[in-house]
């Protein structure tokens, strides 16, 4: 395992990955469910350069999709939700219940979808910020509601402002 810290308009982002270049984590500072840094391996800011480059393109040069190799560790249900998140188009939001329905789950599964979404280890690239509450309200985000609001505004073509 190795990690790199890159600058972004949202503050520093910690990229964690395997020696083979697969991204296993993307964490913001003060993020909920952030693993202890000692589990990230050695710091090498030149590592995971493909992910860093694609994030820079997303924030500054109009990139709307990512093709970074991912290695996501979670339950089968969590991985199913994270895969479905990657199918939500840039600039589009859906509700927790809507995603549950798209996956053929029962309406009461919206809460389970939200819990799995909250455990997403690769924010932004696996776009958990595109899930909203049933009324369109911005609910929970591991990096903070202000960052979720900023990411959604960025995807609507607005200037990405944080803080």
* Other residues' Cβ atoms within 10 Å of the Cβ of residue 64: 10
What is the rounded CA–CA span in Å between residue 66 and residue 124?
A: 10
Active-site residue, 43 included: no
> How far is the CA of 147 from the CAs of 1, 38, 81, 140, in angstroms?
27, 25, 21, 11
Residue in this structure with the two tokens 């480059």, named with its chain if needed: 53
A 10 A CB-CB count for 147 gives: 24
- Choosing from 128, 131, 151, 152, which is the catalytic residue? 128
Cβ distance 47 to 2 under 8 Å?
yes
Q: Which residues are catalytic?
A: 128
């Amino acid at each position: 395992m190795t990690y790199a810290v890159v600058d972004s308009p949202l503050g520093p982002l910690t990229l964690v990955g395997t020696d083979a270049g697969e991204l296993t984590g993307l964490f913001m500072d003060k993020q909920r469910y952030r693993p202890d840094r000692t589990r990230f391996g050695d710091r090498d800011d030149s590592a995971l350069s493909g992910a860093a480059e694609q994030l820079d393109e997303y924030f500054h040069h109009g990139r709307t999709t990512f093709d970074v190799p991912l290695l996501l560790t979670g339950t089968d249900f969590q991985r199913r939700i994270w895969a479905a998140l990657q199918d939500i188009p840039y600039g589009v939001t859906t509700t927790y219940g809507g995603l549950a329905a798209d996956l053929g789950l029962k309406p009461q599964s919206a809460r389970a979808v939200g819990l799995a979404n909250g455990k997403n280890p690769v924010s932004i690239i696996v776009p958990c910020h595109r899930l909203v509450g049933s009324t369109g309200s911005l609910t929970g985000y591991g990096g903070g509601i202000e960052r979720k609001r900023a990411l959604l505004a960025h995807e609507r073509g607005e200037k990405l402002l944080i803080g």
